[in-house]
Amino acid sequence: MQANLYALVAVAVVALITAVIGGFGIRFARTTSDVLVAARTVNPRWNAAAISGEYLSAASFLGIAGLVLKEGADALWYPVGFTAGFLALLLFVAAPLRRSGAYSLPDFAELRLGSAEVRRVATGLVVVIGWFYLVPQLQAAGLTLSVLTGWANWIGACLIALIVITNVVFGGMRSITFMQAFQYWLKLTALAVPVFVLLLTQASQYTNARATAGAGAPPAFTENTTVRVDTDVVLQVTEPTQLTAVGGVDGAVDVDGTVYWGVGEHEVSEGTALTFPAKSAVPVVTGAPAHNDDWLRPLYGGAGDHPLFETYSLMLATFLGTMALPHVLVRFYTNSDGRAARISTLFVLGLLGVFYVFPTVSGLLARLYVPQLLVTGRTDAAVLLLPGAVLDSWPARLLGGLVVAGAFAAFLSTSSGLMVGVAGVLSTDVLHGRAKDFRLAALLAGLVPMAMAVTIPPIDIARAVGLAFAVAASSFCPLLVLGIWWRNLTDAGAVAGLIIGGGVSVAAVFGTLLGLAPGGWVGSVLGHPAAITVPLTFLTMVVVSKVTPKRVPSDVARVLARLHAPERLGLTPGPNPNRTGTVRRPADQDAVNRAGRHRR
C-alpha cells in the first residue's frame, strides 16, 4: 500500500501521544507562584467525550464499515445497537449506579447484595467479557498492520498487545479522562475527513455510482484488480467471468493463466492470486449477498438462516449489553453526581450519533470503490483502503495516514481501557491488591487475550464484539436492572442468574469463535445467543430470588434509598457550592483580590 510512510508516521505520533499523556499523567498545570486549582468537577461534556472515546473501539471504527460492505443493511443494526445501549443505560442505570458509589461491577454487586460469592462470580465474568472484547481489538490491529506492511496478522496483534501491556504496567494504569476525550475527537476526525473529501471529489460521479449501487447488478471492479486469497474460500459468481488465476482454483492445484467461470459457486484455495479485468462482476464470498439489490435490502445480508431471529437477538445483545461492559461503567464514576451522570450519558448519545454516520457512509463508498475485499471476505480493512482506492498520490496517502492513526487510536484506547479494567478487577479480587500485584494482573490481563487473538481464527470484528455484548447483556444487565429496581433480589438469585445465563452465553460464544457452529437454528442461536440467554437470566434471577426470600439483604431499604434519592437530600450544609475556582495569573492577583473570591 502506498500510504506506508504517512501511515507509519501517523501511527508513531498517536502512539507517542498516548504514551506521553498516559505515562506522565496530566500536565495541565503550570508552576506558578499562585494557587492553581484544577477543575472542581468534571464537566459532563468532557466525561461524555471520554466515555465515547473509550467506547469506540475497532468494531466501531473499522468493523461497521466492513460489515456494511459485506452484508448491507443488516449491518446497520450494529451502530444502532451500540448507541441504543447508552439509551438503555440512561433510562435504567445511569443515575442510580453513580449514586451507589460503586466503581466497578463487582463493587456494585457487593454493595447491593452484601455477598462475597456474588462478587467473585461477577469478577470472573468481568474478566471473561473483557477478554472477549479485547480479542477482536487485537485481531483488528493485526489486520491493520498487515494491510500497512504486509506482515502476518499475528505480528500486529502481539505488537499492540505488548504496547498496551507495557503502557498499562509502567504507566501505572492511569486512565486519563482528557486523553480519552482527545481520542474521541481524533477518531471522529479520522473518519469524517476522508468521507467528506471522498464525497466531495466523487460528487460528479454520484449519479453513476447510484446507478451501479441501485440496480440489480453485482458490485463491479473499477479497474484491473489483483486479489490474493489468504484462506480457502468459496465464491459465488453471478455473471460469467474471465479472469487470470495463479494457484489453486476449483480443485485444480496448479493453475496459471486464464480461467473461465460460469455462474455458480467456485472454490479458491489459499495463496491463490486472482486478477480480474475492469468492469467485471465481483464474485462475493458465500454467505454474503452477491447482488446489490439484496445487499441494499435488510434481512438478506446475514450469513445465518434465520435473519429475523438474528436481528432481534442482536438488538437485544447490543441494547442491553452496553450498560454491562466493564470499561463503560468505570467511567461513570468520574461524574460528580447522579444528575451529571444522566447529562453525561445524553451527551454520549449525541456524540455517538454524530460518529456513527461516517462508518455507514464509508461502507457504502467501499461497496463502490473497494469491492475486491468481498472476494476474501475479510472486509474489515475497507476503511483503510478506501482513500487509496478513490484518490491518488499525496491526498490518498495523507488521508490514508489519518485513517490509520484513527484506527490505532481506536485499538489503543479501548484496549488500554479494557486492560486496566480487567487488571483492576483481577488485582483487587483475585490477587488481593497490593501495589506490585497491579503489574502482575495487567500482565495476565493482556497476555491471555493476546494468546487467544493469535489462536482463534478471525471473524468479523463487529460480530466478535457483538458476541462480547451478548455475554454482558446476559449476565450483568439483569443484575444491574434487577438490583437497582427490584427490592427482593437475593444473592442466591444473582449468583444463579450470573452462572446460568453467563455460562450459557459464554459457551455459545466459544462455540461460535471456534467455528463449531453448524447451520440452521443451532448455528443461529450459537452466533446470536442473546435472545435466549437474556430472558433466561432474568427468569433465573427472579425465580431463585423468590424461592430464597430470607436472603434479601437486611439493608435493602437504605441502599435503595441511596441509589434513588436525589443528591440534595441528606446533605448537611458544606462549603458554599456557589464558589467557583479560577485560575489566577500573577498579574491579575490584585484584581482578583479586590473582586473577592466570595461572590455570594
What are the cell numbers at 345?
450519558
The one-letter amino acid code at 54 reads E
Q: How far is the CB of 363 from other proteins (least distance, A)?
A: 9
Radius of gyration of the chain (CA): 26
98 and 342 Cβ atoms separated by less than 8 Å: no
Q: How far is the CB of 308 from other proteins (least distance, A)?
A: 6
Q: How far is the CB of 514 from other proteins (least distance, A)?
A: 29
Q: How far is the CB of 17 from other proteins (least distance, A)?
A: 17
Q: In this structure, what DSSP letter does residue 249 have?
A: E
For other proteins, the closer of residues 395 and 433 by Cβ is 433
For other proteins, the closer of residues 147 and 422 by Cβ is 422
Map residue 33 onto helix, strand or coil: coil
Q: How far is the CB of 560 from other proteins (least distance, A)?
A: 6
The one-letter amino acid code at 551 reads R
- Cα distance between residue 415 and residue 392, in whole Å: 33
For other proteins, the closer of residues 41 and 224 by Cβ is 41
Q: How far is the CB of 360 from other proteins (least distance, A)?
A: 4
Which residues make Cβ contacts (< 8 Å) with residue 528, sequence separation at least 6? 304, 309, 310, 313, 314, 317, 466, 470
Q: How far is CA 485 from its chain centroid?
A: 28
For other proteins, the closer of residues 20 and 91 by Cβ is 91
For other proteins, the closer of residues 206 and 521 by Cβ is 206
Q: How far is the CB of 70 from other proteins (least distance, A)?
A: 15
- Cα distance between residue 8 and residue 431, in whole Å: 38
For other proteins, the closer of residues 179 and 249 by Cβ is 179
Q: How far is the CB of 596 from other proteins (least distance, A)?
A: 5
For other proteins, the closer of residues 436 and 546 by Cβ is 436
Q: How far is the CB of 495 from other proteins (least distance, A)?
A: 18
What are the cell numbers at 549?
426470600
- DSSP-assigned letters across all residues of 342-411: HHHHHHHHHHHHHHHHHHHHHHHHHHHH-TTHHHHS-GGGHHHHHHHHHS-HHHHHHHHHHHHHHHHHHH
Residue with cell 446470536: 528
For other proteins, the closer of residues 485 and 510 by Cβ is 485
What are the cell numbers at 269?
484455495
For other proteins, the closer of residues 179 and 288 by Cβ is 179
Count of H-run helices and E-run strands, the chain: 26, 7
Query: Using a CB cutoff of 8 Å and minimum separation of 24, what contacts does 587-593 make?
Result: 589/34
Kindly provide the residue ranges of all beta strands, DSSP E only, lying in 221-322, ordered along the sequence.
225-228, 233-237, 241-249, 252-261, 264-268, 273-276, 284-285
Q: How far is the CB of 519 from other proteins (least distance, A)?
A: 20
Which residues make Cβ contacts (< 8 Å) with residue 475, sequence separation at least 6? 125, 129, 324, 497, 498, 501, 502, 505, 537
For other proteins, the closer of residues 221 and 469 by Cβ is 469
